[in-house]
Amino acid sequence: MQNVEIASLGFPRIGRQRELKFAQEKYWRGELTQAELALVAKELRSTHWKWQAEAGVNLLPVGDFAYYDQVLTLSATLNAIPERHRDESESQSGKISLDTLFRVARGRAPTGKDAPAGEMTKYFNTNYHYIVPELTADQEFSVAFEQFFDEVEEAKAFGYKAKPVLLGPVSYLFLSKAVGSDFDKLSLLPKLIKTYADILVRFSAQGVEWVQLEEPILALELEADWQAAIASTYEALNDTSVNILLASYYGTVAHHQALISSLPVAGLHLDLVTAPKQLAVFAANLQAEQVISLGVINGRNVWAADIDVIAERIRPLVNDLPGRVWIAPSCSLLHSPVDLDVETELAPALKQQLSFAKQKLTELAQLQTLLSPPENCSNRAEVDAILATCVARREAREAAADKQVIDRVAALNSDDYERETEFAHRQTIQQQKFKLPLLPTTTIGSFPQTPAIRGLRSRWRKGEITETFYNDQLQQVTKDTVERQLKLGLDVLVHGEAERNDMVEYFGEQLEGVGFTQFGWVQSYGSRCVKPPLIYGDVSRPKAMTVEWAEYAQSLTDKPVKGMLTGPVTILHWSFAREDISREQIATQIGLAIRDEVVDLQNAGIGIIQIDEPAFREGLPLKKSDWEHYLNWAVDAFKLSAAGVTNETQIHTHMCYSEFNETIAAIAAMDADVITIETSRSRMELLTAFEDFEYPNEIGPGVYDIHTPNTPTVDEMVTLIEKAARKIPVRQLWVNPDCGLKTRTWDEVEPALKNLVQATKVLRRRL
């Protein structure tokens, strides 16, 4: 008999070789029948349940599997599907089909009529994207999709106890969007609760004992009406005969402690990885009989945990509350790669530091062993082996420290973060040097990644062509890209990034302290997965990464060609970062590595250098009260990367979004000479933040949306630039597209940029 139970909040569904992705895509292309797709799905569920059961999980999560997105599955279950995606029979029968689900997600499916897809957005501060539910003022709910119930039966048939896992009603409403008219979404809550209650009653009839309802919005600072909604919802659901495990994750919920502790729920799950301190306050306020689920293994990262340390931290509580403590990952394992065992090419030193979803279950089993009662002496050898592994892993980590990097960070002083002089002075010097016209034109960096370029790279990776041949070919592409820009008449050119597959991977592969897996995929949305680099050690740059490309491109023209780098904050956010030092420290190390590159570019004669930070905003903490701390270190990391140059060198940055209202002071503090942002879809509305702030440096507000293949007209762009010029002094403005052009074709790019240059000419005469 164990004194703690192992719980799982959910397992990744994609499969360790992305089986689900390939099956989905084949089904969409008509190469697989729906029954064949369902079979792949069923096999994946059975494998994942088996792994969890073998690790000692008693209540197997059901509902973590989704054909596209678990929020969308829930919308279908609740019959909250937009009319435009349904086929006629469904409006009558009140039942939703799988193809309807795919139509919501993708705008089309093998059957039925196409209709614009539902909006997709990031799930809290993760890189997982969910389909935003669309709710109308007169929205009705009913149980309309059987997947949850079918899967409960499926789990039972294997002899498992099923624990359905669902987003709770309040978070579901919060994440949804009001369409048609502007109404208070909370007005739908009573109806929604009723349907949730119906769902719980059906689960209960199936023999389900526990249901996990997730309310991740508790990690946010909620308005009073949303707090009240939490209270009334769980009061109302208390009538059903299943036990509710109320789960929160991604951050502390201690600011709602009184509310949460008063809810009539049978169990609470807490994320103790992002917020270890909240354990004490909740443990002290537990209700009689209430279960507490301790999320102690990081569900969002790839590193093996110090389970010896965790065991000692929670042992007192485990002893105090016999039978009432569960140990679990901090959140669903959805955000973690599936199985480390399939990695065959990792250096052993790195591999021993890692733990993917399947291994995290083993860690929980080991933690359970460490917590087993001392009188249970038979497992002494096992306990010793686990402890020895923990110690060895820590020692290896410490031994791998790069003293040079650590010393360099320690020696930094405030001057290292500042340019030689303030912007106004630099601006004059740069104007004299570059002599750019009013409204200089430029692009964001990448040009079309043609099938030829991708094919070349894949042959090179497979060793089918030599490095020399690969580089020669890419030089040709670069030359062609520069010539096209010259012909278009752009003022500041780029080399086009043909050598890059991905803006983080490219740098990760060249940095010390950063590694890669073969199969470390994580679902981003639908069938799309990403494979983030692993920042496992102290980061440094052994040698120049981009200088040859930049130098070559610059040698082809007298016009300035921008050097193109990814910034430290973005590299950090789009990687799996080590946890033994702070994110701030890691960002500083990467900042120094990028700084070295910036200085080398300058010394090679590159006068303008762009340091992209598209992920800057993504890193904002869930709670506003934590924003300042993040913004301070993120701004510093960027400044550190940029400040090594002379006044003459012009530093650009790029961010592809433009909600700057609350972060504008931080953006200004970055002190980039020029920032390019995405503003075309908001029709320059979002420039208002810069206007109100009287943003002093130069800005390139995007004048056309690169996400559509349509050619923007001269008139459209003239209007937008004029609009921008009413908000920002024209001497501060640049003209450029919203973002990089790598996903477009030359046939789309050339007419668009031709018009962009033309629009600028019109305005230079007019303004």
Question: Using CB under 6 A as the criterion, which residues of the chain lie in contact with ligand GLN when the complex forms?
Answer: 444-446, 497, 503, 564, 612, 614, 654, 656, 739-740, 742
Tell me which amino acid residue 571 is. I
Beta carbon of residue 135, minimum distance to Zn ion (angstroms, whole number): 31
The per-residue DSSP string of 209-255 comes to -EEEEE-GGGGS---HHHHHHHHHHHHHHTTSSSEEEEE--SS--GG
Cβ within 8 Å of residue 437, ≥6 positions away? 491, 764
Beta carbon of residue 652, minimum distance to ligand GLN (angstroms, whole number): 10
Q: Give the phi and the psi of residue 651 in degrees, each rounded to 5.
A: -100, 125
Nearest to 334 by CA among 15, 5, 6: 15
554 or 647: CB nearest ligand GLN: 554
- Which partner in ligand GLN, Zn ion, none is near 612 (CB below 5 to 8 A by kind)? ligand GLN
The per-residue DSSP string of 107-133 comes to S--SSS---PPPPEEE-TTSS-EEEPP
513 or 563: CB nearest ligand GLN: 563
- 377 labeled part of a ligand binding site: no
- 425 labeled part of a ligand binding site: no
What 3-state DSSP class applies to 135? Answer: strand
Residue 574 DSSP class: T
- Binding-site member from 218, 739, 741, 763 for Zn ion (CB under 5 A): 739
Sheet strands (E) in 10-133 = 59-62, 120-122, 129-131
Tell me which amino acid residue 354 is. L
How far apart, in whole angstroms, are the C-alpha atoms of residue 135 and residue 183? 10
- Which partner in Zn ion, ligand GLN, none is near 337 (CB below 5 to 8 A by kind)? none
- Which partner in Zn ion, ligand GLN, none is near 10 (CB below 5 to 8 A by kind)? none
Beta carbon of residue 737, minimum distance to ligand GLN (angstroms, whole number): 9
430 or 446: CB nearest ligand GLN: 446
272 or 752: CB nearest ligand GLN: 752
How far apart, in whole angstroms, are the C-alpha atoms of residue 650 and residue 610? 8
CA distances from 255 to 64, 227, 248 (A): 28, 11, 13
- 739 labeled part of a ligand binding site: yes
526 or 614: CB nearest ligand GLN: 614
Q: How many CB atoms lie within 10 A of CB 487?
A: 11
- Which partner in ligand GLN, Zn ion, none is near 564 (CB below 5 to 8 A by kind)? ligand GLN
Q: Give the phi and the psi of residue 676 in degrees, each rounded to 5.
A: -110, 135
Beta carbon of residue 612, minimum distance to ligand GLN (angstroms, whole number): 5
- 390 labeled part of a ligand binding site: no
Beta carbon of residue 722, minimum distance to Zn ion (angstroms, whole number): 23
614 or 700: CB nearest Zn ion: 614
- 127 labeled part of a ligand binding site: yes
Residue 736 DSSP class: B
Scanning the structure block, which residue is given the tokens 């990367």?
Answer: 641
509 or 722: CB nearest ligand GLN: 509
Beta carbon of residue 615, minimum distance to ligand GLN (angstroms, whole number): 8
Beta carbon of residue 451, minimum distance to ligand GLN (angstroms, whole number): 18
- 612 labeled part of a ligand binding site: yes
How far apart, in whole angstroms, are the C-alpha atoms of residue 733 and residue 102? 43
Q: Give the interface size with Zn ion as a residue count (CB under 5 A).
A: 3
CB 229 within 8 A of CB 215: no
233 or 446: CB nearest ligand GLN: 446
- 678 labeled part of a ligand binding site: yes
* Interface stretch with Zn ion, choices 48-56, 414-422, 570-578, 650-658 (CB under 5 A): 650-658
- 626 labeled part of a ligand binding site: no
By CB under 5 A, is residue 477 in contact with Zn ion?
A: no
453 or 739: CB nearest Zn ion: 739
- 19 labeled part of a ligand binding site: yes
How far apart, in whole angstroms, are the C-alpha atoms of residue 624 and residue 22? 40
- Which partner in ligand GLN, Zn ion, none is near 265 (CB below 5 to 8 A by kind)? none
CB 499 within 8 A of CB 549: yes
- 647 labeled part of a ligand binding site: no
CB 428 within 8 A of CB 752: no
How far apart, in whole angstroms, are the C-alpha atoms of residue 461 and residue 482? 26
CB 216 within 8 A of CB 173: no
Beta carbon of residue 493, minimum distance to ligand GLN (angstroms, whole number): 13
Beta carbon of residue 467, minimum distance to ligand GLN (angstroms, whole number): 23
Burial of 378 (0-12, 13-18, 19+ CB in 10 A): exposed
- 654 labeled part of a ligand binding site: yes
Q: Closest residue (Cβ) to ligand GLN?
A: 740
The per-residue DSSP string of 510-564 comes to TSEEEE--SS--EEEETTEEE---EEEEEEE-SS-SSHHHHHHHHHT-SS-EEEE
The residues that bridge with 698 in the sheet, in sequence order, are 674
Q: How far is CA 148 from the centre of its chain?
A: 27
- Which partner in Zn ion, ligand GLN, none is near 445 (CB below 5 to 8 A by kind)? ligand GLN
Q: How many CB atoms lie within 10 A of CB 50?
A: 13
Catalytic residues: 707
- Size (the chain), residues: 767
Site for Zn ion in 651-670 (CB under 5 A): 656
Q: Closest residue (Cβ) to Zn ion?
A: 656
Mark the binding-site residues for L-homocysteine, compressed into ranges: 444-446, 497, 612
Known binding residues: 18-21, 122, 127, 444-446, 497, 528-529, 574, 612, 618, 654, 656, 678, 739
Q: Residue ranges for the binding site for 5-methyltetrahydropteroyltri-L-glutamate?
A: 18-21, 122, 127, 528-529, 574, 618
User: Would you tell me which residues interact with Zn ion (CB under 5 A)?
Assistant: 614, 656, 739
Annotated binding-site residues for L-methionine read: 444-446, 497, 612
